[in-house]
Amino acid sequence: MKKTVALILTAALLFCLLAGCGGKTEPAASTAAPSASSEASTTAEATVTPPNGDYGAWHVALLTEESNIAEQSCSQIIYEAGREWCQAHGAGFRHYAAAERSKAELTALIDRAVEDGNTILILPDWSLTDAIKDSVGDYPDVRFILFDVYASEFGRDYVLPANVCAAVYREEVLGFMAGYAAVKLGYRHLCFVGTKKAAPVSRYGYGFVQGADAAAIELDTQREIAVEFAYANTTAADPAVTAYMDDMFQNRGVELCFVCGGDIAAAVCEAAQKTPSVKVIGADADMAQKLDASYGEGLTATSAVKNYAATVQTLLSDIIERNMWRSYSGRTVTGGIISGEDLAANYVGLAPSTVYADGKFSEADYAALVAGLYAGDYTVSDDTMNPPKVAIAVNYLGNIK
């Protein structure tokens, strides 16, 4: 966490960001900033920006589900980073927790946060886009920072308003690193399970397939590698998912599962703990402590991690300290690999808790992988419409339920 403050200086690039801005769903299809009118942006600047760096006039609010803060979630990371930044700079910081997961509840929460005088609202919940879409137009002078939300999730050809910025990540690169590490660590029968066929989840999965393929080619083991690929079609810890994964682990010989999104990790781990040799890879945040504590020490091989802490502190510094809202207004900004040498500076990467195996996949091997991705030695497609063409065997199984 302490290192993230220094990383803010690295991010004058707007997280490398504006190389991938626009209102489209896919980073590759991003264009220059959407047509957010300069008039709307100017109004927001004049109304909200405190004079002479009076950061105390800024009030930042994080809106989450009640359960998210205390369970090593993405929301917890954003909460801690935002609170830390605001405390250090004398800005206000509040947290609002929804009593239930519904459009009505989140809409009421947004209304309450604005009525309380908050000038920046952070929403890390991409699944309640209807409430967000309906609310942002009511408050043109409030900045909304969305995490893991693409404009297209609000509707086809939707353009983000001038008071909204969406921060997203290159999930396909994270998936690539996870698949590459899995094969290098010696696992041969792999599985990917995502919540549903949505763009961020598919990028994770297709990246995982590409990474496993790249490692297999380097090891000349293409014929030995197989990936089972499925969507749970739920975000819940559903017993149907556990039963499905019981069969995968106990009868089909799957050795490792990369699980992405919602509470389905719990359903997968319920099955995984019954077979001691099985491992899982977490997504978004470092899941090792949480999953290992609940389902068995050593269960988590690694996690594909988004650097939410650096992201939120970069955004707050740029928007509040540097008065750079116009650089973010109406934009989708994409965090990826910005350094081939300083691994901690990147917005995507494998977790510090990664279990390395010397002679198979070491920390030096991981550093070389990051350097190779930064240099363009590996090509990672972010296409979510078509499965990647690979040499390894991939079984696309559709929805679990």
Percentage, residues of the chain above pLDDT 90:
72
pLDDT at 335 over 50: yes
Name which of 119, 108, 174 is nearest 145 in CA terms: 119
**More confident position, 154 or 142:** 142
Rounded Cα distance between 146 and 36, Å, is 16
What does the pLDDT look like over 213-252, one tens digit per residue?
999 999 999 999 999 999 999 989 999 999 999 999 999 9
Q: 68 falls in which pLDDT band (50, 70, 90)? A: low
The rounded distance, in Å, linking the Cα atoms of 179 and 190 is 9
Which pLDDT band holds residue 125 (cuts at 50, 70, 90)? low
pLDDT band at 70; cut points 50, 70, 90: low
pLDDT at 101: 80
| Mean per-residue pLDDT of the chain | 86
pLDDT bucket at 162, cuts 50 / 70 / 90: very high
Tokens of 259: 């699980």
The whole-number average pLDDT for the span 138-157 is 89
State which amino acid sits at residue 357. Answer: A
Query: What does the DSSP 8-state code read for residue 321?
Result: I
Nearest Cα residue to 347 out of 313, 300, 302: 313
Q: What is the DSSP letter of 239?
A: H
pLDDT at 51 over 80: no
Whether 151 contacts 27, CB under 8 Å: no
Q: How confident is the model at residue 48 (pLDDT cuts 50, 70, 90)?
A: very low
pLDDT at 124: 86
What is the predicted pLDDT for the residue at 18?
A: 41
Residue 47 has a pLDDT of 38
**Bridge partners of residue 194, in order along the sequence:** 231, 260
User: What's this model's pTM, rounded to 2 decimal places?
Assistant: 0.85
Query: Quick one: pLDDT at residue 315?
Result: 96
Greatest distance between any 2 Cα atoms in the chain: 66
Which pLDDT score, from 0 to 100, does residue 300 have?
A: 97
Task: List, in order, residues 6 or more apart from 192 with CB less than 8 Å away.
Answer: 204, 205, 208, 209, 227, 228, 229, 230, 257, 258, 259, 260
* pLDDT at residue 100, rounded to an integer: 83
Q: What pLDDT does 277 receive?
A: 94
Spatial distance between the Cα atoms of 229 and 226, rounded to a whole number of angstroms: 10
